[in-house]
Amino acid sequence: MSETTTVTPQRRVTLAQVAEHAGVSLKTASRALGGEPHVTDQTRQRVLSAATTLGYRRNTAASLLASGRVAELVGLVTGDLTNPFYAALAQGLEDVIDPAGVQLNVASTREDPEQEWRLVRDLADLRVRGLAIVSAMDDHSRYAELQARGIELIFVDRPAQGVSACSVISDNLGGGRAAATHLLQHGHRRISFVGDYSWLHTYRQRVDGMGQVLDPEAPQWRELIRDGAHDSATARRHVLELESSDQPPTAYVAGNNRVLLGILEALSTTREDRPMPAVLGFDDVEWGPVMQLSVVATDPYRMGRLAGEQLVAGPSATEEPLVVPTSLIARGSGERQS
C-alpha cells in the first residue's frame, strides 16, 4: 500500500509580519516596499531583507488601489471565450497594447447582461485604464457610471447604445447584401438564414442587408429564417427541420461560424436523393479553405487592433462607429446552382 502525502497550503505572508520582522511600523514597511520617498536607505534595506526572508509577495492590485494609481491593464469582456472569433479579436487588441506596456485581462459573460455588469465593475475596481466590451446588453446607459470614474470604453462587434462611447463594428449590412446578391446570381430563391439570438446587432444587420436584396426578388425567404442558434447543436436541429419539409431551401446562409458548423453537420446526414444546397457562412474559419466553404469574411483581428489603438490613444473624439469592411470569399460551397 503506497503512502499518501498530504500537502498543506502555506499561509500568505502579510505586510504586518514583514513590518514586525524588520522592526518598523506597518506604514513604513508599506512605503519601503512601494519605493516611496522619506524612507532611509538603511530602513528600506531592512524591510526588503525581511520580505525576502519571509517570502512576502506584494499584492500589486491592492497597492495600486491604495495609492490611487491606474493599473496598466485593459479588460476585454466577450460573450464566449471558446469562439475563435473572439480569440482573433483578443489577439489584435493585445498586439497593440502589449508594446505600450499594457496587459490584457479577458473575461466571458456567456451572453448574460448581469454577469457582464459584475465583470466590468470588478475590472473597474482594479482601476483599469480601459474596457473593450462585446456587450450582451441592449442599453449601455449604466456604463456612464464607469466613464465618470475615468475609464475609457470601446464597444466591439456590437455598438454602444444609450452611452456616448466609440464602437468598432463590422459592415454587417453590406455583408448581408453581398451574401444575398451572390446567391441570387446562382439562381437561388429559397434561401434560409440560420442565425444566433435575434436581439444581437450582428443578427439584425445581416438579416436587414439580405432583406434589402431578397424582399423584392424572393419575399418567401423570410419564412425560412431561423434564430436562437447560439451553438452548433441548435443550428443542426433547425436545418434538419427545414430539410424535412416538402420544399427545403436550396441555399443556407450561416449567421456565424458556430452556425456554419451545425449546418454542415446536418447536411452531412441528409439529401441523399437530391443535390446538395449552396452554403454560405458569415465569419471565416481556418478550415474554410480545406472544405471549400464560401464565406462573408469579417476581420476580428483588425477590429481588435482598432479597439486597442483607441484605448492606447485615450478618450475618443468621435462617437461614430469605426466600421470594418467585410468581404465575400467564393470557394465553391456558395456557388452551387439552384
What is d(CA 160, CA 167) in angstroms, rounded to the nearest whole number?
6
Residue 156 main-chain phi, psi, to 5 deg: -120, 135
Model confidence pLDDT, tens digit, residues 133-144: 999 999 999 999
Contacts of 104 (CB under 8 A, 6+ apart): 73, 74, 75, 76, 90, 93, 94, 97, 98
Say if residues 74 and 130 touch (Cβ distance below 8 Å): yes
Chain Cα centroid distance, residue 123: 16
Confidence (pLDDT) at 63: 56
Q: Is 167 helix (H, G, I), strand (E, B) or coil?
A: strand
What is d(CA 144, CA 251) in angstroms, rounded to the nearest whole number?
44
Mind listing the domains of the chain with CATH numbers? 15-58 (1.10.260.40), 73-169+301-324 (3.40.50.2300), 172-298+327-335 (3.40.50.2300)
Confidence (pLDDT) at 27: 80
Confidence (pLDDT) at 313: 83
Q: Kindly give the parts of the chain with pLDDT less than 50.
A: 1-10, 60-61, 64-65
Burial of 318 (C-beta count, 10 Å sphere; 0-12/13-18/19+): exposed
Buried b (16+ CB within 10 A) or exposed e, 250-278: bbbbbbbbbbbbbbbebbeebeeeeeebb
The end-to-end CA distance of the chain, in Å, is 70
CA distances from 38 to 16, 19, 29 (A): 20, 16, 12
> Would you say the C-alpha torsion 116, 118, 121, 123 has a positive or negative sign?
negative
Q: Is 134 helix (H, G, I), strand (E, B) or coil?
A: coil
What is d(CA 6, CA 249) in angstroms, rounded to the nearest whole number?
62
Confidence (pLDDT) at 68: 54
Q: Write the DSSP assignment of 227-262 as a string of letters.
A: ----SHHHHHHHHHHHHTSSS--SEEEESSHHHHHH
